[in-house]
Structure 1
Amino acid sequence: MLTTHDFRSLADRIEIEALGGEFTDAVMMRDFDRLAALFADDGVLRIPDAGIELAGRAEFQTGMRRMQDAWDYFVQHTHPGVIEIDGDTASGRAHICEFGRLRNGSSHLNYAIYHDRYRRTAEGWRFTERVYEIRYLDNSPLAGSPPGENGLGVDVSAVHLHG
C-alpha cells in the first residue's frame, strides 16, 4: 500500500520532471517571462563552454533573450535523466539534443547534459542551478532549413486530400 510519503515523492518527481519540459517549451516558444519564472529568485544558469553565467531572474530573462536572438532557428529536445530528492531540495540531470543555425550563418548540433539543482518554493519546484555540459558538438553546415525558407520540402500539389 502506498503511503502519503510515497505519493509526495511521486508528485515531487513529476513536478521536477515537468520543470525540465517547461524549460524546453519556454525556450522553443521564446517565452522569456515563463523561462525566468522557472528559476528561484537566486537561480543560476551556467554554460561554461561559452563563458555564460546568468544569475537571478532579471538577468536570466534578458540574457536568454539575447542568446535566443542570436539564432536564425533553434530546436531543443530534452530527455529526462535522474532525480534525487532530499526534502525540499533535489538534484538531477536532463539529456539534451539541440540544433540550429546562428544569424551569422554557422550551424550547431550538440548533445549535452544539464546538471540541475532544484528547490521547493511557495510556487512549486524551481531551478536553483542549471549547468550545461556539452558532450558532443558538430558545427558542420546543417542540410535542412525551417519551413518557408525553401518551401515545405514536400510537393503538396501531389498529395490527394480526398478519396
Structure 2
Amino acid sequence: MSAADIVEIQQLLAAYVFAIDARDYDALDDVFTPDAEIDYRATGGAEGRWAEIKPWLGRALAPFPITQHLIGLPLIRIDGDTATARTMLFNPMQLARPEGDHLFLLGCTYADELVRTAQGWRIAKRVETDFWVKDPPSDFTPEPAP
C-alpha cells in the first residue's frame, strides 16, 4: 500500500460526486469498471451492472435541479491490486415542485470494492448502506429500477 494509491482512490471518489452533481454520467465511465455491480436500493434506487445503471441515473436525478453529494474522508484498505473503501455521504437534494421546490437531506455510506486496472483504480462494486433521510417529500415516487 502506498500513499499514492490512497490519494488516487480519494480522487476517484471525489470524481464520482462531482460527476453526479454535474450530471456528467459519461465521466463515470472512468470511475467504475465496465462490469461494476451497483446497488442503490438502500436510498430507493436501482441495482444492476454499470451499463444498466448509467442511463437510469439521468432519469432518476432529473427531478432534482440541485444536488450536492458531500463525502467524508474515506476509510481505505488496500491489499495488492484490490481495495475497499467506506465513505460517508451527506446529500442535500432539491426536488422541483410547481408550488415551490422541496429541500430535503439524506445520508448513507458508500461501501466500495475497488480494483487496480491498467487505467488506474476503479470501483468494481458499490453498495449504499446506513441510509437516513430528513424531511423527505411525502408524495415523491423514485424512478423505477431498470
Instruction: Give, in whole Å, the separation in 2 of the partners of 1:114 and 1:132.
Output: 5
- Aligned-pair Cα RMSD in Å: 1.9
Q: Per-residue deviation at 1:75?
A: 1.4
> 1:45 is matched with which residue?
38
1:123 and 2:119 aligned? yes
Give yes or no for contact 1:82–1:93 (8 Å, CA) kept in 2. Answer: yes
Give yes or no for contact 2:110–2:127 (8 Å, CA) kept in 1. Answer: yes
For 1:15-34, list aligned pairs within 5 A. Answer: 15-34=8-27
> 1:139 is matched with which residue?
135
Note the alpha carbon deviations across 1:98-128, whole angstroms, 9 max, x for none.
0112235554301211011100111110001
For 1:43-82, list aligned pairs within 5 A. Answer: 43-49=36-42, 50-56=44-50, 58-82=51-75
Task: State the aligned residue count.
Answer: 133
> 2:106 is matched with which residue?
110
Moved more, 42-51 or 124-133: 42-51
Give yes or no for contact 1:110–1:134 (8 Å, CA) kept in 2. Answer: no
Give yes or no for contact 2:46–2:53 (8 Å, CA) kept in 1. Answer: no
Consecutive unaligned residues in structure 2, runs of 5 or more:
138-146
Give yes or no for contact 1:100–1:107 (8 Å, CA) kept in 2. Answer: yes
TM-score under structure 2 length normalisation = 0.81
- Partner SS for 1:118: strand
Consecutive unaligned residues in structure 1, runs of 5 or more:
1-7, 142-163
Instruction: Give, in whole Å, the separation in 2 of the partners of 1:100 and 1:90.
Output: 30
Note the alpha carbon deviations across 1:19-58, whole angstroms, 9 max, x for none.
11000110111111001321001112211221511313x3
Using CA pairs under 8 Å that are at least 6 residues apart, name the structure with larger relative contact order, 1 or 2. 2
1:95 and 2:91 aligned? no
What fraction of aligned residue pairs are identical, expressed as a percent? 29
Instruction: Give, in whole Å, the separation in 1 of the partners of 2:31 and 2:131.
Output: 25
